[in-house]
Amino acid sequence: MKLNVLKLDGTTAEAFKADKAVFGIEPNDAVIRQAVLAEMTNMRQGTHSTKNRAMVNGGGRKPFKQKGRGGARAGTIRSPLWRGGGTVFGPEPHSYHHKLSKKVSRLARRSVLSSKIAEDKLIVVDEFSLSSHKTSDFNSILSALNLQDKKITILVTGRDANLDKASRNLRNVYLVDAAKVSTYDIIDCDTLVVDKVSMSVLTEILKK
């Protein structure tokens, strides 16, 4: 399958021949959901913590005598019933790691890429590079590609210092390494912008 390729000034370049096994499959919504949930779950740090009655400082002495006061008995001021006492069944630190097989992960990414192409939300550019680090230059490229006021993810190969500096002040622009892109990175944008080198990298990784 052939995809139209744009230059950074908005003009048309030579078409790119994309692999149909990667960019033209029937999207599997169930696998996409499974992959996104796994990736979002793995983002959680799991550092939430509370102190139970054994961890709260103090409370070693019985606050008052057992009988004769007319009130309820108490053995410690750190009881969960008391203000400043321990928490009952509070959250404890634990891992939220969810393992996803490589086969499912690759199928999910292929499905999202195919869906983006079918919805005309994937733009292939000839080469995405800047000669300066100015944000104004980057904005002019977005204007030429009709991408203003859109949330975009740009897949690049390697790190370009000028591209990093020019785009980091823009709120809805995200640079992602094509070799490390996740299903969530691809799906969480209005438009996906990929250069031809990154398209080849995606094909090599996802065709396995």
pLDDT band with cut points at 50, 70 and 90 for residue 115: very high
Partner residues linked to 125 by β-bridges: 6, 195
Are residues 51 and 36 part of one domain? no
Are residues 52 and 6 part of one domain? no
| Mean pLDDT score, 50-62 | 91
The rounded distance, in Å, linking the Cα atoms of 56 and 145 is 59
| Mean pLDDT score, 140-151 | 87
Are residues 141 and 51 part of one domain? no
Cα 117 versus chain centre, distance: 20
Are residues 172 and 114 part of one domain? yes
The rounded distance, in Å, linking the Cα atoms of 136 and 141 is 9
Are residues 106 and 124 part of one domain? yes
Sequential DSSP letters for 16-85: EE--HHHHSSPP-HHHHHHHHHHHHHHT---------TTTSS---S-SS-SSSSSS---S-TTSTTSTT-
Q: Is the confidence at residue 92, as pLDDT, over 90?
A: yes
Predicted structure pTM score: 0.81
CATH code at position 14:
3.40.1370.10
* CA distances (Å), origin 15, targets 6, 143, 167, 204: 9, 22, 27, 19
Count of the separate structural domains present in the chain:
2
Are residues 198 and 104 part of one domain? yes
Are residues 91 and 101 part of one domain? no
The rounded distance, in Å, linking the Cα atoms of 172 and 189 is 9
Q: Is the confidence at residue 37, as pLDDT, over 80?
A: yes
Cα 43 versus chain centre, distance: 8
The rounded distance, in Å, linking the Cα atoms of 190 and 171 is 13
pLDDT band with cut points at 50, 70 and 90 for residue 107: very high
Q: Is the confidence at residue 208, as pLDDT, over 80?
A: no
Token pair for residue 35?
Answer: 């992959």
Last residue of a domain, one of 59, 80, 95: 95
| pLDDT tens digits along 170-182 | 888 999 998 999 9
pLDDT band with cut points at 50, 70 and 90 for residue 26: very high
Last residue of a domain, one of 64, 95, 126: 95
Are residues 107 and 175 part of one domain? yes
Are residues 167 and 109 part of one domain? yes
Which domain covers residue 112, as residue numbers?
2-44+97-206
Are residues 91 and 108 part of one domain? no
Amino acid at 181: V
pLDDT band with cut points at 50, 70 and 90 for residue 149: confident
pLDDT band with cut points at 50, 70 and 90 for residue 114: very high
Give the DSSP letter of residue 107. Answer: H
Are residues 198 and 171 part of one domain? yes
Are residues 56 and 21 part of one domain? no
Averaged pLDDT of the chain? 90
The rounded distance, in Å, linking the Cα atoms of 117 and 18 is 11
Last residue of a domain, one of 32, 64, 95: 95
